[in-house]
Amino acid sequence: MLSAMSGSNDRVPHAPAPGRGPAPDEASLTAWRTDDFVGLTILLDCRWLGHGGAGRVTELLLGEMRDRPPSSGRWILWGDPAAVGMLVFSGAIVAPWHGHPAKLSGQADWLRVPRADVRVYLHQVRPLRPGRSITVIYDTIPLHVGARPLVRLAKRAFFKVVCGLSQVIITVSAQSKEAITRDLGVNGPKIIVVGLSVDAGRIARIRAMRATADRSDTLIYVGRFGAHKNLERLCRAFATTRFRSRGGRLLLVGGSPSEVLQLGSWIREQGIAGVEAHGFLSESDLDLLFATSRALVQPSLEEGYGLPAVEAAAVGLPVAASRTGYASEIPGEFVTFMDPRDEQSIAAAIDVAVARPDPGTAYLPRSTLREGILEAVARITRLAGTG
């Protein structure tokens, strides 16, 4: 199954892949040294394995650490032994844990956090324990959309406490770094931006399928159906496209059952033809959509990462997207950009994208997640040594 950064069909894959172009903050990720970790106990919070995008990021990190294990430091993997399983890398040990990492807003495990010199939390919902720590914050979208104003204010306060307790913040796109600086008042030097990879084996399989499969006059959207995804505006814009006038259809994939019901009802009430709302798909069904569709559209008002657009570009599926999350880093030959607040701009981008031929070159972004984590730990070690 594909899973979102916040719980959808937005998938963060678990196999590193080489890529083209510079990685985010690449110059700042080369300063750590092996001896930075000598004598240190470092905790990796692996409790999110199996839970949405944070779980996928954890898989990616552990996969990279298994391929290139650190040669120094005592590494503790805190999580469910059944989930950590084969992801344990050389020199690491497992600190058993069971439960749900978000219980009581992440505070149910406050007294259960293992002792360590540095703790690496792979999600912003974390125990608010003092001590040297690194926290991955994917985006600040919960502060702007969704819940009632008082709930959003409470979330903002929680995020600020997390930032105050963290010596280093790691995030997944330049846009997220800007949002964390703007919304939470975090100084830029405290934030490291890392790149994430795609599953190279899966991408190769889909590219091979696209080479022989017949195309369907289908445009796809993959991800959550949240308000910031801008799907109602997308549906209205789609109805005005030349692609729709020729019989094209739009498939919206990845909503929860309640989201599918709500958006499906709205589509019918608006009388918009050719648009279907669907829930989660199996990986094989989603692979088939990537192999046979004309284009993928991502009209989000805000994204933390927005992996479906990256995966689409990697398999050669043309993309129509707003300049949000990592989409703005995709080379121009793979993506047509839009103004997500302008229905005419969305419609024009769709018509250009569905008419584009598959790019003749491959695109695979390169992960810097392992390097970012190691550099963050090294920064904390150096600060402690000078304090």
Output the domain CATH number for residue 340.
3.40.50.2000
Is there a domain that residue 122 lies in?
A: yes
Is there a domain that residue 338 lies in?
A: yes
- Note the residue count of the chain: 387
- Number of other CB atoms surrounding residue 201 within 10 Å: 10
Give me the pLDDT at residue 358, please: 81
3-state secondary structure the chain: CCCCCCCCCCCCCCCCCCCCCCCCCHHHHCCCCHHHHCCCEEEEECCCCCCHHHHHHHHHHHHHHHHCCCCCCEEEEEECHHHHHHHCCCCEEEEECCCCCCHHHHCCCHHHCCCCCEEEECCCCCCCCCCCEEEECCCCHHHCCCCCHHHHHHHHHHHHHHHHHCCEEEECCHHHHHHHHHHHCCCHHHEEECCCCCCHHHHHHHHHHHHHCCCCCEEEEECCCCHHHCHHHHHHHHCCCHHHHCCCEEEEECCCHHHHHHHHHHHHHHCCCCEEEECCCCHHHHHHHHHHCCEEEECCCCCCCCHHHHHHHHHCCCEEEECCHHHHHCCHHHEEEECCCCHHHHHHHHHHHHHCCCCCCCCCCCCCHHHHHHHHHHHHHHHHHHC
- Number of other CB atoms surrounding residue 38 within 10 Å: 12
Is there a domain that residue 158 lies in?
A: yes
pTM summary value:
0.79
Give me the pLDDT at residue 30, please: 54
Give me the pLDDT at residue 328, please: 86
Residue 134 structure tokens: 């690194």
Give me the pLDDT at residue 34, please: 67
Residue 374 structure tokens: 């190691």
Is there a domain that residue 79 lies in?
A: yes
Same domain, 79 and 149: yes
| Nearest Cα to Cα of residue 125 among 226, 204, 54 | 54
Number of domains in the chain: 2
Give me the pLDDT at residue 385, please: 60
Same domain, 234 and 146: no
Q: Cβ distance 110 to 127 under 8 Å? A: yes
Give me the pLDDT at residue 307, please: 84
Same domain, 249 and 327: yes
Is there a domain that residue 254 lies in?
A: yes
Same domain, 67 and 172: yes
d(C-alpha 375, C-alpha 268), whole Å: 51
| Nearest Cα to Cα of residue 292 among 340, 343, 251, 244 | 251
Same domain, 211 and 186: no
Domain that includes residue 132, residue range: 26-197+366-386
Locus of tokens 């600040």: 140
Same domain, 50 and 117: yes
CA dihedral for 163, 133, 48, 189, sign (positive or negative): positive
Same domain, 221 and 311: yes
Mean pLDDT by 10 residues, the chain (387 residues): 35 37 47 75 94 85 92 94 93 95 94 96 96 95 83 94 96 91 93 88 91 94 91 98 97 94 96 95 92 96 87 93 89 94 98 89 85 92 65
Same domain, 190 and 310: no
Same domain, 172 and 252: no
Give me the pLDDT at residue 165, please: 97
Give me the pLDDT at residue 26, please: 45
Give me the pLDDT at residue 384, please: 66
First and final CA of the chain: distance in angstroms?
46
Same domain, 36 and 181: yes
Residue 316 structure tokens: 């050669």
Q: What angle do CA 305, 306, 310 make, to 5 degrees?
A: 105
Q: Cβ distance 58 to 42 under 8 Å? A: no
Q: Cβ distance 250 to 217 under 8 Å? A: no
Report strand pairing: 191-193 vs 218-222: unpaired
Same domain, 186 and 56: yes
| Nearest Cα to Cα of residue 371 among 5, 12, 10, 22 | 22
Same domain, 270 and 333: yes
| Nearest Cα to Cα of residue 64 among 167, 171, 192, 195 | 195
d(C-alpha 296, C-alpha 289), whole Å: 10
